[in-house]
Amino acid sequence: MEQKWWQKSVIYQIYPKSFNDSNGDGIGDLKGLIEKLDYLAFLGIDMIWICPIYPSPMDDNGYDISDYQDIAAEFGSLQDFETLVAEAKKRNMKLMMDLVINHTSDEHKWFIESKASLSNPKRDWYIWRNPKEDGSAPNNWRSIFGGSAWEWDQTTEQFYLHTFSKKQPDLNWENEEVRETLFNMVNWWVEKGVDGFRVDAITFIKKGNLTEDLPTTDRDGLALISHACLNQTGIGDFLTELKQKTFANFDLVTVAEAPGVKPEAMPSYIGDNGYFDMLFEFDHVDLDIGKDGKWFEPVNWSLHDLKTAITKSQTHLNESGWGALYLENHDQPRSLNKFLGEVAEADRSKAAKMLATFYFLLKGTPFIYQGQELGMTNVQYESIDVYDDLASTDQYEMALQAGLSSEEALQSVWRRSRDNSRTPMQWDETTHADFTNGQPWLPVNENYKAINVEQQLKDPSSVLHYYKKLIELRKTSEYSETIVNGVYQSILTENDSILGYTREYAGQKLVVLANFTNSSIQLEELAGNPLLTNYESPFSGRALRPFEAVVLEA
């Protein structure tokens, strides 16, 4: 396969609300982001993915779009966007937009028209159905953010479908006008200088049988919509058309948020002629929650489960397609807390570097989520009222309904809340970590004096500098080709403490070892030339120290 620019790239994810505020209103914005482009260039970033910046009532922080062809006032203007494109280009950085086309906001003008009357020309742009004979919802699907996936509309006496919140009505992809309008919108952004798209919740666009109940034993009588609407037969026609009429006509990169894609469907998604270039998998990040994603029902997982998920994915990628490598994003807690639980303060930096090493050198394009490069950690707000994320409030309520105490319910939010990763970026040790001169929309994590950019820039042994080294190793060293193209093979597969693998290409072989525990683990003698380690003193070859990670040339 001919090498694509995005296979050699490192992508950095920006959560715009929390990155950098330029005007003191407590909300990050495009001007603030532009101020920090030099920081990202210093790190070695090739492309930034910005979470949605379109006008939105912000019910789901921008994933509820009310106008696809503008910029939200709190983030700036189309002119600021153009400046951002130009400033990024000056630094050889590309731009990836978030494309949210399964649903809009209920405040989008299309939906306002659609709900105006049964005969409105846009009625069929959304999914409307009559109630059952007893007046209840058309079926028993539960939305991802809780409660029925159907919302009653008094004016026209029908229900509309929403996979996510009731302020996020689903578009009707069966309607050709809807599809054409969305495709034109995508092309409009490409003309504006966008180099790629992260395509939100795309495996939901084809719906299952809208009049059928799902079996359930849940107390609310509902069953999660994912069991009926994920990756349904026929979705391929929509995705092929999307690709043909948009992405395929430009030199872009696309990465799909695509839960529910079975291994046998992988080639159609990301194979040589796949709908997308890469997709985000979930097995490795969701191993601590059950299949319906209830936060208060934690799953006991072991390193073995993580290894199995990684090897399954990488083995596929050896055959076909390309990986999107990630540990964190705006929907996930911080990786240190998730993968390692309680880590002593003295071990934090080492542990963060160990996690970085293990995922960054897998086969695929690495994504870094803002603050991950500092080893930022979860937050524990003292009350559910401080949380802004609607999934957190919903999960808290579900936990109470299931009989948990308010303390236990809050603890499950501490563990899993999406706000864990949405706290403001920690720039320095001044008030509010210098994220804003005003009041931040979400409180800064109180550990900002110990974890911040300014201090890590000064410290060559910081997590930040380690990420920079990893990026250099991947992009500009004599091992680049192997890191990009090498075949993955799991090693020490049965070991309970160490995750290990090799990458092999054109006669060169790299060994990556990561100790996930805070104890020393003996190894059988390993011969090799160490290229990188997260300790100051050299790797002994006979044991991995607590949280030690090492990269060797075999």
* Residue with smallest beta-carbon separation from ligand GLC: 63
Task: Provide the minimum distance between the beta carbon of 257 and ligand GLC in the complex, in angstroms, as a whole number.
Answer: 6
Task: Kindly tell me which of 168 and 313 has the beta carbon lying closer to ligand GLC.
Answer: 168
Per the residue annotation, which of 21, 200, 281, 288 is the catalytic one?
200
Residue that has been written with the tokens 């409009």 in this structure = 188
Tell whether residue 282 is a contact of ligand GLC (CB under 6 A): no
Amino acid in the structure at residue 208: G
In the β-sheet with 498-505, what is the strand arrangement from edge to edge? 487-491, 498-505, 508-515, 549-553, 529-533
Binding-residue pattern over the window 4 to 23 for Ca ion, x denoting contact by CB under 5 A? -----------------x-x
Task: Provide the minimum distance between the beta carbon of 201 and ligand GLC in the complex, in angstroms, as a whole number.
Answer: 4
3-state secondary structure of 453: helix
Tell whether residue 454 is a contact of Ca ion (CB under 5 A): no
Tell whether residue 63 is a contact of ligand GLC (CB under 6 A): yes
C-alpha atoms less than 13 angstroms from C-alpha of 94 in its C-beta half-sphere: 18
Are 77 and 71 a contacting pair, CB within 8 Å? yes
Residue that has been written with the tokens 């990556």 in this structure = 512
Binding-residue pattern over the window 521 to 540 for ligand GLC, x denoting contact by CB under 6 A? --------------------
- Which residues within the stretch 145-174 sit at the binding site for ligand GLC (CB under 6 A)? 164
Taking the C-alpha atoms of residue 253 and residue 277, their distance in angstroms, rounded to an integer, is: 6
Tell whether residue 27 is a contact of Ca ion (CB under 5 A): yes
Task: Provide the minimum distance between the beta carbon of 112 and ligand GLC in the complex, in angstroms, as a whole number.
Answer: 19
Q: How many residues bind ligand GLC (CB under 6 A)?
A: 9
Is 74 annotated in the active site?
A: no
CB atoms within 10 A of CB 40: 21
Query: Which DSSP string do the residues of 321-355 spell out, in sequence order?
Result: S-BEE-S--TTS--HHHHHHSS--GGGHHHHHHHH
Task: Kindly tell me which of 60 and 286 has the beta carbon lying closer to ligand GLC.
Answer: 60
Are 150 and 129 a contacting pair, CB within 8 Å? yes
CA 276 to chain centre: 16
Task: Provide the minimum distance between the beta carbon of 277 and Ca ion in the complex, in angstroms, as a whole number.
Answer: 33
Cα dist from 390 to 103, 279, 413, 418, 419, whole Å:
17, 25, 11, 9, 10
Task: Kindly tell me which of 46 and 331 has the beta carbon lying closer to ligand GLC.
Answer: 331
Taking the C-alpha atoms of residue 143 and residue 120, their distance in angstroms, rounded to an integer, is: 26
Is 200 annotated in the active site?
A: yes
Task: Provide the minimum distance between the beta carbon of 15 and ligand GLC in the complex, in angstroms, as a whole number.
Answer: 10
What's the chain's Rg over C-alpha atoms? 23
Relative to beta strand 196-199, strand 253-257 is parallel
Q: Which does 520 bind (CB under 5 to 8 A by kind): Ca ion, ligand GLC, none?
A: none
Tell whether residue 34 is a contact of Ca ion (CB under 5 A): no
Task: Provide the minimum distance between the beta carbon of 66 and ligand GLC in the complex, in angstroms, as a whole number.
Answer: 14
3-state secondary structure of 373: helix
Taking the C-alpha atoms of residue 451 and residue 429, their distance in angstroms, rounded to an integer, is: 8
Task: Kindly tell me which of 253 and 498 has the beta carbon lying closer to ligand GLC.
Answer: 253
Q: How many residues bind Ca ion (CB under 5 A)?
A: 5
141 Cβ contact partners less than 8 Å away, ≥ 6 residues apart = 148, 149, 150, 161, 214, 222, 223, 224, 225, 228, 229
62 Cβ contact partners less than 8 Å away, ≥ 6 residues apart = 16, 17, 51, 52, 53, 54, 56, 72, 98
Cα dist from 346 to 343, 356, 428, 468, 514, whole Å:
8, 17, 20, 22, 18
Task: Kindly tell me which of 21 and 373 has the beta carbon lying closer to Ca ion.
Answer: 21
Task: Provide the minimum distance between the beta carbon of 259 and ligand GLC in the complex, in angstroms, as a whole number.
Answer: 8
Q: Which does 150 bind (CB under 5 to 8 A by kind): Ca ion, ligand GLC, none?
A: none
- Which residues within the stretch 312-351 sit at the binding site for ligand GLC (CB under 6 A)? 330-331
Q: Which of 74, 80, 170, 200 binds ligand GLC (CB under 6 A)?
A: 200
Tell whether residue 201 is a contact of ligand GLC (CB under 6 A): yes
CA 461 to chain centre: 28
Task: Provide the minimum distance between the beta carbon of 23 and Ca ion in the complex, in angstroms, as a whole number.
Answer: 5
Structure tokens, 164: 């996510």
Q: Which of 29, 46, 60, 286 binds ligand GLC (CB under 6 A)?
A: 60
Structure tokens, 408: 């236990």
Q: Which of 30, 45, 100, 224 binds ligand GLC (CB under 6 A)?
A: 100
Q: Which does 59 bind (CB under 5 to 8 A by kind): Ca ion, ligand GLC, none?
A: none
Taking the C-alpha atoms of residue 358 and residue 189, their distance in angstroms, rounded to an integer, is: 35
Q: Which of 6, 10, 11, 29 binds Ca ion (CB under 5 A)?
A: 29
CB atoms within 10 A of CB 507: 6
Helix (H) or strand (E) holding 94: strand 94-99
Q: Which of 257, 281, 328, 434 binds ligand GLC (CB under 6 A)?
A: 257
Are 193 and 95 a contacting pair, CB within 8 Å? yes
Task: Kindly tell me which of 201 and 222 has the beta carbon lying closer to ligand GLC.
Answer: 201
Task: Kindly tell me which of 23 and 508 has the beta carbon lying closer to Ca ion.
Answer: 23
Q: Which does 21 bind (CB under 5 to 8 A by kind): Ca ion, ligand GLC, none?
A: Ca ion
Helix (H) or strand (E) holding 446: none
Binding-residue pattern over the window 356 to 395 for ligand GLC, x denoting contact by CB under 6 A? ----------------------------------------
Task: Kindly tell me which of 29 and 80 has the beta carbon lying closer to Ca ion.
Answer: 29
Per the residue annotation, which of 257, 328, 331, 419 is the catalytic one?
257
Q: Which residues are designated catalytic?
A: 200, 257
Residues in touch with ligand GLC (CB under 6 A): 60, 63, 100, 164, 200-201, 257, 330-331
Residues in touch with Ca ion (CB under 5 A): 21, 23, 25, 27, 29
